[in-house]
Amino acid sequence: MGWLIPKSSTPILCPCDNTSTISKRHFFLSCPLLHSNLELLDLLLRQRFKNYTRPELPATEIDFLLNLLPKKFNSFQRQHWRHTWPVLNQLLFEIDKLSHPAATFDNEPTPGQLVFVHCSDTLSATQDINSA
């Protein structure tokens, strides 16, 4: 996650209270701007993984999920990814925006949408080939 949260000599204040410095610790332990999506992701992971426990810093829910990325693209259609991938994308986007307040961000499609549209296209193309 170090690649996402900048380490700067000038502290960046989080807009949640304009006093907390942007950091992994702030985002994952106390930032109200990320709280609901972190709670949702934690809930989804507890539902999908029997022995899941919330990681303790420096590990995070995001690290947990990134370590599970499937080797085959079509695997996003199965398992937990249909639920967890959009939340993961939204969290990464929020962290990116909060960590780079001077940056301009283009409008984004619905989090995770591009993966599932691509999976559907790939799946239907595969079915067409198999039925021919």
Q: How far is CA 93 from the centre of its chain?
A: 7
Residue 31 beta carbon to Zn ion: minimum distance, rounded to whole angstroms: 3
Distance CA 90, CA 33 (A): 12
Region from 7-15, 49-57, 71-79, 115-123 binding Zn ion, contact rule CB under 5 A = 7-15
Structure token pair of residue 132: 């021919």
Region from 13-21, 43-51, 52-60, 121-129 binding Zn ion, contact rule CB under 5 A = 13-21
* Among 115, 114, 97, 98, CA closest to 106: 97
- Per CB under 5 A, does 38 bind Zn ion? no
3-class DSSP state for residue 19? coil
Query: For residues 30 and 77, which CB has a smaller minimum distance to Zn ion in the complex?
Result: 30
Residue 15 beta carbon to Zn ion: minimum distance, rounded to whole angstroms: 7
Structure token pair of residue 42: 């934690």
Identify the residue among 1, 13, 16, 40 touching Zn ion (CB under 5 A).
Answer: 16
